[in-house]
């Protein structure tokens, strides 16, 4: 419903580097307030703005269903408008 999906890569280091993939709930993230185009992870240090995602640690899927900002491309907004107009 949010319009994106995030998977965290947890690397197990040693003789071989093995990745483990964990899906993370979309409520853990917030869009960047300045541009609205970069996803930030909510953290106790910064619960409103969030912190930028670490490179090589996240896999993001943001489908281009609608043009414009990715924050507006989720199904939750469309379903809410359809329900209100019902």
Residue 4: closest CA among 22, 26, 30, 24: 26
**pTM for this entry:** 0.70
Q: Cα 22 to the chain's mean position, in Å?
A: 13
| Tokens representing residue 81 in the block | 């408008």
Decide: helix, strand or coil at residue 85.
helix
Place of tokens 């107009």: 85
For 64-79, how does the pLDDT look when each residue is reduced to its tens digit (9 = 90+)? Answer: 766 667 666 667 777 7
Place of tokens 């609205």: 36
For 13-58, how does the pLDDT look when each residue is reduced to its tens digit (9 = 90+)? Answer: 999 999 999 999 988 999 888 888 889 999 998 889 999 999 889 9
Separation CA 29–CA 2 (nearest Å): 10
């Amino acid at each position: 419903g949010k319009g994106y999906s995030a998977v965290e890569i947890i690397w197990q280091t040693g003789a071989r580097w093995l990745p483990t993939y964990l899906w993370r709930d979309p409520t853990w993230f917030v869009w960047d307030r300045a541009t609205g185009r970069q996803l930030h992870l909510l953290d106790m240090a910064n619960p409103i703005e969030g912190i930028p995602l670490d490179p090589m640690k996240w896999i993001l899927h943001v489908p281009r269903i609608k043009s414009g900002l990715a924050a507006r491309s989720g199904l939750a907004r469309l379903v809410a408008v359809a329900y209100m107009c019902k």
